Amino acid sequence: MSRIRAAVLGSPIEHSLSPVLHRAAYRELGLDDWSYDRFEIDEAALPGFVAGLGPEWAGLSLTMPLKRAVIPLLDGISDTAASVEAVNTVVLTEDGRRLGDNTDIPGIVAALHERGVEKVPAAAILGAGATASSALAALARICTGEVTAYVRSTARAAEMREWGERLGVAVRTADWSRAAEALTAPLVIATTPAGATDALADAVPDAPGTLFDVLYDPWPTALAAAWTGRGGTLLGGLDLLVHQAVLQVEQMTGRPAAPLAAMRAAGEVALRAR
Active site residues: 67
Within 10 angstroms of residue 269's Cβ, the number of other Cβ atoms is 11
Residues written for the chain: 274
Give the CA radius of gyration of the chain: 19
d(CA 125, CA 41): 29
CA atoms within 13 A on the CB side of 241: 25
Going by C-alpha positions, the residue among 8, 37, 21 that lies closest to residue 271 is: 21
Asked whether the beta carbons of 209 and 232 are under 8 A apart, the reply is yes
Going by C-alpha positions, the residue among 68, 65, 4, 67 that lies closest to residue 37 is: 4
d(CA 203, CA 22): 38
Asked whether the beta carbons of 211 and 188 are under 8 A apart, the reply is yes
Within 10 angstroms of residue 56's Cβ, the number of other Cβ atoms is 13
User: Hey, is 122 helix, strand or coil?
Assistant: coil
